[in-house]
A and B are shown apart, each in its own frame.
Chain A
Amino acid sequence: MTDLLVARNVSKTYFDTVANDNVVALDDICLAIRPHEFVSVIGPSGCGKSTFLRLVAGLDRPTSGEIVVSGRKVTGPGADRGMVFQEYALLPWKTTAANIEFGPRLKGLPKAERAAITQRFVELVGLKGFENKYPHQLSGGMRQRAAVARVLANNPLVLLMDEPFAAVDAMTRQRLQEELAVITAHERTTVLFITHAIEEAVFLSDRVVALSGRPGRIVADLAIDIPRPRHWDAVAHDARFIAYRDELTRCIHGRPKA
């Protein structure tokens, strides 16, 4: 199958005003993602994994190299690459339903169709009954569900997620991970997921790409051969899961986690 997203020799250098020096954030990243694949990028903080996601989103430009999505070179942000942020980034002045409806509305879809889409994704992420609440009236977990629904309702080619569950408590995080696993498997969503949590990456992904510390280079690209969607109860003690986790930990930290 042809690749949906291709990053060719992508490097990013930026000027650090504090250090008064050029910093190489990403060095020669080559990565290809197939349709329906769930790929996570992990690495220590400051390795440039979020920078890479921003380049794919078109929110920043690479210093050299190029990113191509579905045959088109990325030159700026667009609806084909919807992004979910750690800080939710819902519009506070729009209700849950209006936030989810936002992308279809920008596309100029007719009202009845928008309503049907909104209804479907409200239900998909389990926010039925909260359609008319404003973001500040929702819990952190519910806000992130709404943010995921907002992007999915816009039917992007690839779903970009930047440490989406880093700001919620541990129990909510596990539940959100399982929900995302089910939804992305069911919708066959192509996902590029950024996290510093190795277990989260292994749990969710078809493939995990590990970056080294600055400058970010790919040091591992590991296929996770466990059927999706996975559930924590089943996978936490699975020998394969543990083996993947330890291998990735070695790649990043040089030794398995104690």
Chain B
Amino acid sequence: MSAVRKLGSELLPFVVALAIWQALSAAGIWPKVLFPSPLEVLEAFAADLTSGVLLVNLWVSLRSLLLGFVVGCAIAVPLGYLMGLSRAGRNFFDPLVNLLQAIPGLAWIPFAILWFGLGQGAVTFIIVMSVFFPVLHNLLTGIRMVQPVLIEAVQTLGAGRADVIRHVIFPATLPNLMTGIRLGIAFGFRSLVGGEMIASTDGLGYAIFNAQQYFQSSRIVVGMLTIGIVWLAMDRLILRPIEQRTTMRWGLVREGLEPA
């Protein structure tokens, strides 16, 4: 497939969605304040971009998201391997994790505000709480799914416990870890927006909330789309290239079920 056709097929879904959106807003079924047109959103986007508001909010939100994600992973990943690889670790932490996991990240907001005050500190804290569980759970599932025969095979080649962990467990858990990271980021975005609406005075979530107060519905859409575009960029520029170089190259994960 040529580069042009490849680009075309990737853009097609967005073009179709945009056309439907344009048609619906042009039909004038709903007032503009309830259903802004693509052009209005584009204008709002350009205005927020040139005024610098959008970039400042984006920077504030991304900083909290990445910090929360890194801290959440830094706790969840070692804890996951500890729980997955040691019976004592599992017996101790499993009940606690089970108790805490049903509590949504947003439920931590009151304490987050008490502990960190209003602002991005509180937001970052609830992102940590939201990223932690999906990463931990997918990692634990991955460890449970490692084929025993792979471990036994390397043991008969002379591998000790450290070799088994490094050469079998780590790579074998990578597909599930990537799933956990994707879910973690997705959960992190939810908490980011929710947290900023309640506990902050800047960031994309706050911008969306604030725009609604002033009936600036096209700016609500700008905030929403910015989140979507940021996620898309993360996926295409960071996560997918990692997967293409590892799990997909190893044949552990495929693009889809259709024949190659």
A residues in contact (CB < 8 Å) with B? 57-59, 76-79, 81-83, 85, 87, 89-93, 102-103, 106-107, 134-137, 147, 150-151, 154, 156, 160
Contacts and interface: CB of A to CB of B under 8 A. Distances in A.
A79 B163 CA distance: 13
Contacts of B159: 106
Interface stretch (B1-9, B68-76, B244-252): B244-252
B250 A92 contact: yes
B156 A57 contact: yes
A83 B250 contact: no
Contacts of B163: 106
Nearest to A79: B158
Interface residues of B, number: 21
8 contacts: A90-B153, A91-B167, A91-B168, A93-B250, A103-B157, A136-B250, A147-B153, A156-B156
Contact of B251 (A83, A107, A134, A160): A134
A126 B168 CA distance: 26
Given A102-B157, A106-B159, A107-B158, A92 B152 contact: no
A248 to B, nearest CB: 28
B164 to A, nearest CB: 10
Contacts of B157: 79, 82, 102-103, 106, 150-151, 154
Contacts of B252: 92-93
Contacts of B147: 89
B156 A102 contact: no
B153 A83 contact: yes
B158 A106 contact: yes
Contacts of A160: 156
Interface in B233-260: 246, 249-252
B17 interface: no
Given A93-B171, A102-B167, A134-B251, A85 B149 contact: yes
B150 interface: yes
Interface centre among B153, B171, B251 (most CB of A within 10 A): B153
Interface centre among B147, B157, B168, B171 (most CB of A within 10 A): B157
A157 B158 CA distance: 13
Interface of B: 147, 149-150, 152-159, 163, 167-168, 171-172, 246, 249-252
A136 B251 contact: yes
A144 to B, nearest CB: 13
Interface centre among A83, A135, A147, A151 (most CB of B within 10 A): A83
Given A91-B168, A106-B163, A77 B251 contact: no
B18 to A, nearest CB: 39
A92 B156 contact: no
A107 B149 CA distance: 21
Contacts of B251: 92, 134-137
B155 A77 contact: yes
Given A77-B155, A92-B251, 4 more contacts: A59-B152, A81-B156, A136-B251, A156-B156
Contact of B149 (A77, A87, A103, A156): A87
Nearest to B168: A91
A78 B158 contact: yes
Contacts of A136: 250-251
A83 B154 contact: no
Contacts of B153: 83, 85, 89-91, 147
A91 B170 CA distance: 12
Interface centre among A90, A93, A106, A135 (most CB of B within 10 A): A93
Contacts of A79: 156-158
B159 to A, nearest CB: 6
A83 B152 CA distance: 9
A134 B245 CA distance: 12
Given A106-B163, A137-B251, A89 B152 contact: yes
A135 B149 CA distance: 15
Given A77-B152, A83-B153, A85-B153, A134 B250 contact: yes
Contact of B154 (A76, A92, A102, A135): A102
B255 to A, nearest CB: 14
Contacts of A91: 150, 153-154, 167-168, 171
Nearest to B152: A59
B101 to A, nearest CB: 30
